[in-house]
């Protein structure tokens, strides 16, 4: 028997994004329960998300190059102004 390698996906979420994702999946879970559906798979996903390890990473705030969108771009001016 051959086994395929499964791809894994990693997301970098801050606390508020993580919290919203957990709340959204939990709300979906409640909806499925109210409809009498099967929630074991949703429970597994929710537990993986809750028990996921955390890792601190460095994030560069700001950059040397900024892009501004101007109102005149909608009326035929240049679409992007780079500073």
Domain residue extents for the chain:
15-82
- Residues 40-51: what's their mean pLDDT? 94
Q: What is the mean pLDDT of the chain?
A: 78
Looking at residue 21, what DSSP letter applies? H
User: Which pLDDT tens digit goes with each residue over 18-35?
Assistant: 999 999 999 999 999 999
CA dist 81 → 11, 30, 36, 62, 66 (Å): 31, 47, 53, 17, 9
**Do residues 49 and 26 make contact, with C-beta atoms less than 8 angstroms apart?**
no
Q: How many CB atoms lie within 10 A of CB 25?
A: 16
Distance CA 60, CA 32 (A): 40
Tokens 């537990």 -> residue? 47
The band of 5, judged by pLDDT with boundaries at 50, 70 and 90, is confident
The β-bridge partners of 67 are: 82
Q: What is the mean pLDDT of residues 41-63?
A: 85
Q: What mean pLDDT do residues 32-42 have?
A: 95
Model pLDDT, residue 62: 67
């Amino acid at each position: 028997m051959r086994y395929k390698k499964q791809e894994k996906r990693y997301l970098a979420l801050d606390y508020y994004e993580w919290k919203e994702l957990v709340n959204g999946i939990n709300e979906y879970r409640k909806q499925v329960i109210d409809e009498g559906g099967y929630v074991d798979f949703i429970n597994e996903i929710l537990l993986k998300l809750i028990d996921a390890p955390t890792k601190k990473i460095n994030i560069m705030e700001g950059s040397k190059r900024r892009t501004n969108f101007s109102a005149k771009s909608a009326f035929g001016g240049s679409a992007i102004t780079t500073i």
